[in-house]
Structure formats: structure tokens, C-alpha cells
């Protein structure tokens, strides 16, 4: 099993979940580009393109595990997971997605609902912070404030480098949805202020085998509710 973290975390966000799953699975977690012990990519924001992240994930599966594996992603770890299972279905037995929709699926959902602007606005407004992340310099200055870093439980390096995820991938025409043949389970975090049911439902036309369960928790459930997250992952695999 491979666990992939999101922004602004590193692989330590999975520590308690991994410990609970280790009795049953060979669990691999790694620091994505620019976080934890991984180097930041050369070439600026382009190094954070989802395609490059997928290459890293595929390399981890090939070198460390040999594949195929159960994949679990949270936040941007889930977003890159969608791209990985679409591109290399042969490497993945299943995919558990937590609070990280596919960018193409969401863009397609917005297009399909453009005649319902109030509904679309209700979803898009959840991502208000992304506009700020794409502004040069200002977010980097904000990340210098210790109280902000403490609130996010994140290091300045992960916060600064992670801005590349948004600047490289959001608004660059990633609007083409792709079909997914790997079995997918979505864990809906019902108290997540950023990802709501509509983000999850956006995947429905594009996934041949899709299931969903709900967990009463906020966005960082892998850290705050590790027992429940581990249980949802195991149940999803057992009930395929």
C-alpha cells in the first residue's frame, strides 16, 4: 500500500494511519517533491506539474514495491493519485481518495452545471484561497509568520514549495477529464471546509467502479482521526 500526502504536509501526516495499517499491509509513504526529505525540483513551478508527480509515484511503486499496490491519497496526494490511476491502471489494485478531487473531473462538473450559477459558486467559493496562492511573493511572506505555520502544523519549506502545486496546475487548461478503470473509494470528510460532496460527485461519470463512505472529520483527518481513516481504507479494500 502506498500513502501519498498533500499540501502543506509531508509523509509524517500518515504516521498514525500507517502504524495502524502495518499489521496487515506493507505500507510505503514518501515525501513528495519539495517536502520533508525530498529535494525541490529544478526548473521552478514546472517541476510540480501533476505529470511530474505521477512519474515520481510510478517510480516509487516500481522501485520499492514492484506493484501492483493499493493507493491512498490525501489532498494533493489524492489529486495526483487520480492522474496516476488513469495513466497506469496496471500498477494499482484500488485507489482511496481523501479530500482531493481530479482537476479535470471538477472542470467538467462546472461545465455541466454552468446553467446553475448559484450551485457552481457554492462549490468554487470553497477554493477562495487558491487565488491568493497564485499571487507572487505575498503567500511566501505570510508563511514567515510563526502563528500561521503553527495553525497549519506545517514547516515553511513545505508551505513555500507547495505553492508550486497551485501555480503549475490550477488554471493551466487541466480541464479534460479522463476515465478511470481502477476501483475507487472516496472518503467524504463531512466537516471539510475545502472539499464538499459536489467535488466528489464530479467523478461519477468518469469512474467505472466508484464507492463512497462518510467520516465526520475535518480536512486533516489522517492526522486527527487516524483510527477511523485506517478503518475506512481497510473496509474499502475488503468490500471491493
Please state the pTM of the whole predicted model.
0.93
Average pLDDT over residues 95-122: 87
Q: How many residues does the chain have?
A: 240
All three cell numbers of 156? 515553511
Closest CA to 76 of 215, 194, 240, 234: 194
Q: Residue 53 is part of which domain span?
A: 2-238
Phi and psi of 213, rounded to 5°?
-135, 160
DSSP labels, 98-110: ES---HHHHHHHH
CATH assignment of the domain containing 231: 3.40.50.1820
Percent of the chain residues topping a pLDDT of 70: 98
* pLDDT (tens digit per residue) in 117-151: 777 777 777 777 777 788 888 889 988 889 989 98
* β-pairing verdict for 2-4 and 69-74: parallel
**Separation CA 198–CA 46 (nearest Å):** 29
pLDDT at 16 over 60: yes
Three-state secondary structure call for residue 147: helix
Helix (H) or strand (E) holding 177: none
pLDDT tens string 224-239: 999 999 999 999 999 8
Least confident piece of the model among 54-68, 127-141, 150-164: 127-141
- Structurally, the chain folds into a number of domains equal to 1
**Cα–Cα distances in angstroms (integers) from residue 44 to residues 10, 11, 171, 174, in the given order:** 19, 22, 17, 19
Quick check: 181 pLDDT over 90?
A: yes
Amino acid at each position: 500500500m502506498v500513502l501519498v500526502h498533500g499540501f502543506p504536509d509531508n509523509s509524517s501526516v500518515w504516521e498514525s494511519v500507517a502504524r495502524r495499517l502495518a499489521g496487515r499491509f506493507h505500507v510505503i509513504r514518501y515525501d513528495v517533491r519539495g517536502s520533508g526529505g525530498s529535494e525541490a525540483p529544478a526548473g521552478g513551478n514546472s517541476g510540480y506539474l501533476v505529470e511530474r508527480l505521477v512519474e515520481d509515484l510510478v517510480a516509487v511503486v516500481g522501485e520499492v514495491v514492484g506493484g501492483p499496490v493499493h493507493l491512498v491519497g490525501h489532498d494533493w496526494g489524492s489529486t495526483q493519485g487520480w492522474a496516476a490511476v488513469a495513466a497506469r491502471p496496471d500498477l494499482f489494485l484500488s485507489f482511496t481518495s481523501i479530500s482531493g478531487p481530479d482537476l479535470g473531473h471538477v472542470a467538467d462538473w462546472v461545465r455541466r452545471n454552468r446553467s446553475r450559477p448559484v450551485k457552481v459558486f457554492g462549490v468554487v467559493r470553497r477554493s477562495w484561497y487558491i487565488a491568493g496562492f497564485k499571487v507572487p511573493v505575498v503567500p511566501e511572506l505570510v508563511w514567515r509568520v510563526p502563528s500561521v505555520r503553527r495553525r497549519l502544523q506545517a514547516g515553511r519549506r513545505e508551505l513555500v514549495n507547495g505553492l508550486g502545486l497551485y501555480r503549475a496546475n490550477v488554471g493551466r487548461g487541466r480541464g479534460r477529464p479522463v476515465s478511470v478503470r481502477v476501483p475507487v473509494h472516496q472518503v467524504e470528510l463531512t466537516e471539510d471546509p475545502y472539499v464538499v460532496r459536489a467535488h466528489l460527485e464530479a467523478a461519477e461519470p468518469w469512474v467505472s467502479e466508484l464507492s463512497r463512505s462518510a467520516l465526520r472529520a475535518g480536512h486533516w483527518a489522517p492526522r486527527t482521526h487516524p483510527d477511523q481513516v485506517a478503518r475506512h481504507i481497510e473496509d474499502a479494500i475488503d468490500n471491493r
